[in-house]
Structure 1
Amino acid sequence: MKMFVRFRRAIVLMCLLGMLLPTTAVFAYNYTVVSGDSLYSISEKTGVGIEKIKAANSLSGDLLHPGQVLNIPDGKSTTAASKPAAPQAKDASATYTVKPGDSLYVIAQKYNLRLEVLMLANSLSGTLIYPGQQLIVPIAATRSATPMAVEVSRSAKRPVIPCTDEDLDLLARLVTAEAGGEPMEAQVGVAAVVINRVQSNLFPDTIRDVIYAPNQFSPVRNGWINRPATETAIQAAKAALYGSDPTNGALYFFDNSTKNSFLRSLPVSANYGHMIYAKR
C-alpha cells in the first residue's frame, strides 16, 4: 500500500514539473554574421525584430563579430509539454529541387521571397546553384507561392524576345564583362537593359545589334565581350529573357564611379551593388 502511495506521488510530481517547464523558442533558420553586419541590417534582411533576435541568442548588447551564428526565430513558441514539435518543423519551411536553367533569383521570385532571405535560409554565401540541389524555402513567404508559380510558369513558356543560342551566349558574355562581380540582381539587370532596348523603338531590334551598336558598351571596345560567360551570368541572362526585370524598365546602366554627365542626369530606376540603372 505504501509503495502504491509513493508511486502515485511520483506521477503527480512529474506532471507538475512538466507544466512548469519554460517555453522554448522555435527557430526558423540560422544566420552566419558577415563583415559589415549589424543587428539592424540583419533585422532588415530577415524581417525579425532586433529585440527578438537578441532574446533568441541571449545577447545583452549589440556587438556582433564575423562568423558568429545567430538563431533567427520565427515568432512562434512552444512548450516541452505541448504536442510534438515535428509538425511545426515540417510547416516551418518547404523544399524546392533545383531544375536545369533555374537561378536563385528566379526561384526567389517564384516564391515571392527576397533573394537575401532565400540565401540566409540555405546558408549560401553566393548565388551559384546546381540542378538537383535541395533548397529550403521559408514558409512565411510561401503563402502566395502557388499563384506566383502559376504566373511564372505561364510567362516562362517562351522568351520575351526572339533569342538563339548565340544570342544567349553573347548576352551572358556582356553580363560577365559588365557585372561579373556584382549581386545576382545586378547581373539580371544588365541583361534586362539589353532586352528593354530591343523592345524600345530608340534602339536596334536584336540582341546582337543592341550590344554591337557603336559606342554603347565598353566590353565591345576593349575586347572583354569575347571572354567566356560565367554560369551565373548565363542564369542571369536566362532570367531576363524569360521576363525578370529588376531594373523597372531601365534602358541604361552604369557603375557608381562614372562621371558621365549624360548618364548621371537620367532618372534612376534601380540600384544593386555598384550598378545603377536609369530610364530616359
Structure 2
Amino acid sequence: MKKFIIKLVAVSTLALSLTAMATPDTKANAATTHQVQSGDTLWLLGKKYGVSVQTLMSTNKKSSHLLFVGEKLTIPSTLTSYEMDLLARLVHSEAKGEPYAGKVAVASVVLNRVDSSLFPNTVKDVIYQKDQGYFAFSPVQNGTINQVADASAKEAVKEALAFRGMGKGSLYFYNPKTATSTWITSREVTITIGNHRFAK
C-alpha cells in the first residue's frame, strides 16, 4: 500500500508539471507586489513588468506619478509569455533596420488594435487576423514571423506596453514607397518614423 501511495503521488506531481509546461498562455508577469526602491518610477516599473503606466496608476489608485521608497505596489498581470514573444517576433520582422522608436510604434499598433473594438481582442488574434484571405501583417504571410526576435525588438515590446494608451492611437502602418493600397494612404497619418508612416 505504501508503494502504491508513493507511486500515485509521483504520477500526480508529474501530471501537474506537464500540464503547467504545456500551457502557452502562462502569464509573463503574474499579479505580484513590488516594493518601491530608490530610483523607481512608474515608467521604469512599467517597462520592467510589461504593464502600462496607466494600468499601474489605476490598479494602485494613484492620482500622480509620485512614489515613496518602501511603498508596496500591486503589479497586475499582463500579456502571456507566448504573446510577448509573438509580438517581439512581429516587431523584429516588420521593423528590422528601422529606428528603435519605429519598433516601439509597430508594437503599439498591435496593442492599439487589441484595445480597439474594430479588431480582435488578443495579441495572437490581431497578428493572425485575415482579410480577404490575406494576413494583416506580411511577416505572417511570408513566414518571417517565425524568426527569433532580437533584444531590441523585445525591449521595444516592453516599452510599448508601458506606453500603452498614451499615444496617438495608430492602428495601421505602411511604407509609402512600396504601398499599393489607396485605402491605406487615405488614412490620417499620426507620425512618420523611418520608412514607416503610422495612421488611424
Identity of aligned residues (%): 40
Pair 1:213 & 2:105 matched: no
Distance 2:46 2:97 in 1: 29
Q: CA deviation at 1:155?
A: 5.0
Distance 2:45 2:152 in 1: 24
Instruction: Output one character per residue of 1:203-222: Cα deviation in whole Å (capped at 9) or x when no partner.
Output: 01110000000131111111
Distance 1:234 1:150 in 2: 20
| 1:146-165 pair list within 5 angstroms | 150-153=41-44, 155=46, 159-160=51-52, 162-165=78-81
- Paired position in structure 2 for 1:265: 186
Instruction: Output one character per residue of 1:19-67: Cα deviation in whole Å (capped at 9) or x when no partner.
Output: xxxxxxxxxxxxxxxxxxxxxxxxxxxxxxxxxxxxxxxxxxxxxxxxx
Distance 1:154 1:269 in 2: 27
Instruction: Output one character per residue of 1:129-170: Cα deviation in whole Å (capped at 9) or x when no partner.
Output: xxxxxxxxxxxxxxxxx9xx7342465565248301111110
Change (3 A) 1:187 1:153: closer
Equivalent residue of 1:242, what SS? helix
Distance 1:166 1:267 in 2: 32
Computing the radius of gyration from Cα coordinates, the structure with the larger value is: 1
- Paired position in structure 2 for 1:192: 108
Pair 1:224 & 2:144 matched: yes
- Paired position in structure 2 for 1:278: 199
Normalised to the residue count of structure 1, the TM-score between the two structures is 0.44
- Paired position in structure 2 for 1:45: none
1:189 and 1:247 in contact (8 A); partners too: no
Letter in structure 2 aligned against 1:150: T
Pair 1:236 & 2:156 matched: yes
Runs of 4+ in 1 over 6 A off after TM superposition: none
Pair 1:202 & 2:123 matched: no
Aligned with residue 249 of structure 1, among 156, 169, 190: 169
Distance 1:229 1:150 in 2: 27
1:253 and 1:276 in contact (8 A); partners too: yes
1:247 and 1:269 in contact (8 A); partners too: no
Distance 1:180 1:251 in 2: 19
Q: CA deviation at 1:247?
A: 5.6
- Paired position in structure 1 for 2:66: none
Distance 2:150 2:168 in 1: 24
Change (3 A) 1:247 1:190: farther
2:46 and 2:161 in contact (8 A); partners too: no
- Paired position in structure 1 for 2:31: none
Distance 1:269 1:275 in 2: 11
* Ranges in structure 2 where 5+ consecutive residues have no aligned partner: 1-38, 53-76
Q: CA deviation at 1:238?
A: 1.1
* Ranges in structure 1 where 5+ consecutive residues have no aligned partner: 1-145
Equivalent residue of 1:202, what SS? coil
Larger RCO (CA under 8 A, 6+ residues apart): 2
| 1:1-280 pair list within 5 angstroms | 150-153=41-44, 155=46, 159-160=51-52, 162-214=78-130, 215-243=135-163, 248-257=168-177, 258-279=179-200
Letter in structure 1 aligned against 2:84: L
Distance 1:239 1:181 in 2: 18
1:172 and 1:234 in contact (8 A); partners too: yes
Equivalent residue of 1:190, what SS? helix
- CA-based RMSD of the aligned residues comes to 2.2
Letter in structure 1 aligned against 2:192: N
Distance 2:156 2:122 in 1: 18
